[in-house]
């Protein structure tokens, strides 16, 4: 069975509780439930994980190298702009990588304009809210 890993970085566990004007009103559980339903409809296995710890995100990427995961959809959150370590882990993963941001990072502070993860990502989606995760999942499942 095709398998996709959805990884959410630090503070995304707070979705739906603060700053809805930037990040929307859905909780992370709402987003993950909808992604699980979509993947199941297409016969794909999906694992959704969130961590506030860089090393845990890296460990999840390493596990995906070995367990048959074909694609990673990742919102690295603030680590997008700081983490060479997450970039290095993704560079050791052979499948597809799609980077998702809820907000349009290019419309925000300049420190959000640079992404280390984009150096590895096959696709980048920003500014579409939770729809960005759905677009990423559709692209992965459609082979695009
Ligand atoms: O737009 C995105 O998805 C971001 O990855 C979100 C990160 C931010 O550092 C990136 O520049 C862009 C921040 C996630 C924080 O999420 C919160 C959600 C609700 C309340 C507070 C924080």
Q: Which residues are catalytic?
A: 23, 101
Residue whose Cα lies nearest atom 9 of ligand 1: it is 78
pLDDT in tens, 25-40: 999 999 999 999 999 9
What is the pTM (predicted TM-score) of this model? Answer: 0.97
Confidence at residue 117, expressed as pLDDT on a 0 to 100 scale? 98
Write the CA distances from 128 to 2, 43, 76, 116, 136, integer angstroms.
Answer: 25, 25, 16, 20, 11
Segment 48-52 mean pLDDT: 98
Confidence at residue 144, expressed as pLDDT on a 0 to 100 scale? 61
Rounded to the nearest whole angstrom, what is the distance from the C-alpha of residue 48 to the centroid of ligand 1? 17
Rounded to the nearest whole angstrom, what is the distance from the C-alpha of residue 80 to the centroid of ligand 1? 10
> In this structure, what token pair is assigned to residue 11?
């503070």
pLDDT in tens, 62-97: 999 999 999 999 999 999 999 999 999 999 999 999
């Amino acid at each position: 069975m095709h398998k996709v890993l959805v990884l959410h970085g630090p503070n995304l566990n707070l979705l739906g509780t603060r700053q809805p004007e930037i990040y929307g009103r859905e909780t992370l559980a709402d987003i993950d439930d909808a992604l699980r339903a979509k993947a199941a409809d297409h016969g794909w296995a999906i694992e959704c994980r969130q961590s506030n710890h860089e090393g845990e995100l890296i460990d999840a990427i390493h596990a995906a190298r070995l367990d048959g995961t074909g694609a990673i959809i990742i919102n690295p959150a603030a680590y997008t702009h700081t983490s060479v370590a997450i970039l290095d882990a993704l560079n050791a993963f052979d499948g597809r990588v799609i980077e998702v941001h809820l907000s349009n990072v290019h419309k925000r502070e300049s420190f959000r304009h640079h992404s280390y993860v984009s150096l590895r990502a096959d696709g980048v989606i920003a500014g579409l809210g939770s729809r960005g995760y759905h677009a990423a999942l559709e692209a992965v499942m459609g082979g695009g």
